[in-house]
Amino acid sequence: MRGDRVGGNLGRRRRWTQWVATLVANAYIPGFYLGALYRGPLKAACIPVLNCYSCPGAIFSCPIGAAQNAVVRGYFPFYAVGFLAAVGAMVGRLPCGWLCPFGLFQDLIGGRADRRRRPLPRPVAWGKYAVLALLLPVAALPSGPLDIGYERFCTYLCPSGTLGGSIPLLIADPTLRTLIGPLLAWRVLLLAGVVVAGAAFFYRPFCRSLCPLGAGLGLMNRCSVLGIRTDPSACIDCGACARACPVNLDPVAGGTQNGECIRCLRCVGACEAGALEFGRHAMCAGGDCR
């Protein structure tokens, strides 16, 4: 009872939720064969997952792209940043574990999580915070002769855009294929090298090393209104939760508040003593829940 099988019903419920969220976020099916974007009013709404708004199926917007675009237009992105912060303050990185289409992709290509539980080197894990910190300042920089575009995370780094946007559009629209160049080659290399190859060795390599959305939500893990509550009095120190955690955290030792925790809730499913529960922290009796 390890890896993807941990938690039984909870694990299955999570996978179903991931699929439903992916299908809802990319519900404009005609876009995939027309090679056209959805242009309805829902696109004004951000969703707390990395799902490129240039994906032909996308019916909502990516807050990372929206925030960069606001800076390019010359104003601070209160809407995108506020929305992301509100989600983070409420549930922390729960959307990473349960809703993100690109997280689902990494879950699917990597196989069982327990075979990929290698710890990520700390400097690599800090990469996502560097990307988050530089996201808006770099978007504000003027464009140079060798530079194209301003939403530089989208242009140079985002593998979700390559997978969900570039590849489906290139398949659907032959005229776009004349624009294939070194930049797309770099992005495909990043997708294949970091995400696909990396997923064979590490659980969710992109989420843990480069994703600014996960970094932003993770900053709130420590104080989010809803989170994984631990009840030390019920814990039997069996270590099942720590063994189940795909990102090598120890939930009983405070790992659930760590920014690396994607709140997949495998630990909750693995705890047979009932010492872990997802819920509102304020409900902890006596205020001593960790």
Residues that bind other proteins (CB under 8 A): 37-39, 41, 43-46, 52-54, 58, 61, 65-66, 69-70, 73, 75, 77-86, 88-90, 148-151, 154-155, 158, 161-162, 165-166, 169-170, 176, 179-181, 183-184, 186-187, 220, 222-225, 227, 281-282, 284, 287-289
CA 63 and chain centroid, separation: 12
Residue number with CB closer to other proteins (69 or 270): 69
Least distance (Å) from other proteins to the CB of residue 179?
A: 4
Residue number with CB closer to other proteins (22 or 166): 166
Among 200, 173, 207, 213, smallest CA distance to 92 is for 213
Residue number with CB closer to other proteins (224 or 270): 224
Least distance (Å) from other proteins to the CB of residue 24?
A: 16
Residue number with CB closer to other proteins (151 or 260): 151
Least distance (Å) from other proteins to the CB of residue 76?
A: 9
Query: For the stretch 13-41, what's the b/e string if a residue is b when 16 or more beta carbons lie within 10 angstroms of its beta carbon?
Result: ebeeebeebbeebbebeebbeebebbeee
Least distance (Å) from other proteins to the CB of residue 226?
A: 8
Residue number with CB closer to other proteins (39 or 122): 39
Residue number with CB closer to other proteins (38 or 102): 38
Amino acid, res. 33: Y
| Token pair for 164 | 């969900």
Q: What is the 3-state secondary structure (H, E, C) of 206-272?
A: HHHHCCHHHHHHHHCCCCCCEEEEECCCCCCCCCHHHHHCCCCCCHHHCHHHCCCCCCCCHHHHHCC
Q: How far apart (Å, rounded) are the C-alpha atoms in residues 249 and 83?
A: 28
Least distance (Å) from other proteins to the CB of residue 73?
A: 6
Least distance (Å) from other proteins to the CB of residue 61?
A: 5
Torsion angle of alpha carbons 28, 30, 34, 39, nearest 10°? Answer: -40
